[in-house]
Amino acid sequence: MPAVQEKTVSFSKFRLIVLLIISLSVAAGAAAALVFMAKAATLPREAGLLRALAILFLVGNGLFSLFLFSKLMAGRPALVITAEGFYDSSGGIHSGFIHWNTVEKIEQVRLAGQDFIVVFLSDPFAYLRQQSVSWKRRLLALKNGTVGSPVVISMQGLSCSAAQLRQLLESSHARQV
C-alpha cells in the first residue's frame, strides 16, 4: 500500500484578520462602555451587572484577540495529515496527534451556524485519559459530552471548506484502514 504524503491545511490569513478586527472592536466597545460608566453621573440600578458584562467582554475578546494574533504570527499549519494520522492545532485546545487506527468515523456538523468536522474515536475515554493536563482533559470531556467526540475541528479561520476537509480526512483515513 503506498504511503500517504504529508498534507497540510493552513489558516486563512484573511479570515483570521477579519476575526481579529471584530474581536478588537468588541473589546474596544467594552472598554468605552467602562469609561462611560466611570464618568456617568447617574447609572441605572443594573450598573454592577453592566460593568461585569463589559469586563467580561473586554477580557474575553482581549484573550481571543491574542489567540488570533498568535495564530497569524506562528505560521504553523492548522492540520498536518500523515500516513499514521493527523495533528490538529486548529483551535484553542489542540487535539494533538490522532492515529488513524483510533478513528471510527468522520462527520461534518453544523452547530449554532458554524461548520465543524467531528472525528469520532473508537474509545474517546482512552483518548481523554491520555491527556496529561487536567483542564485540557476536562474541556475535551465537555466536547465529548456535547457532540459525542473530544476531537472537533472548527472550520472558522481555515483555508478550506468543511466538505473539502472532510473529504481529505476521509480519503486519508480510508487508505490506512
pLDDT in tens, 122-160: 999 999 998 888 898 898 999 899 889 999 998 888 889
pLDDT value for 1: 43
Higher pLDDT among residues 74 and 21, named by residue: 21
Query: How far does the chain reach from its first CA to its final CA, in angstroms?
Result: 11
Does 2 score more than 80 pLDDT? no
The CATH number for 79-176, chosen from 1.10.8, 3.30.310, 2.30.29, 3.20.20, is 2.30.29
CA distance 157 to 147: 21
Contact 140, 150 (CB under 8 A): yes
- Of the listed ranges 26-35, 42-51, 112-121, the least confidently predicted one is 42-51
pLDDT value for 43: 66
Phi, psi of 159 (to 5 degrees): -85, 5
Question: Nearest Cα to 162, choosing from 114, 127, 92?
Answer: 114
Residue 176 parent element (H or E): helix 162-176
Contact 23, 68 (CB under 8 A): yes
What's the whole-model pTM score?
0.74
DSSP secondary structure code for residue 102 in this structure = G
Does 22 score more than 60 pLDDT? yes
pLDDT value for 177: 63
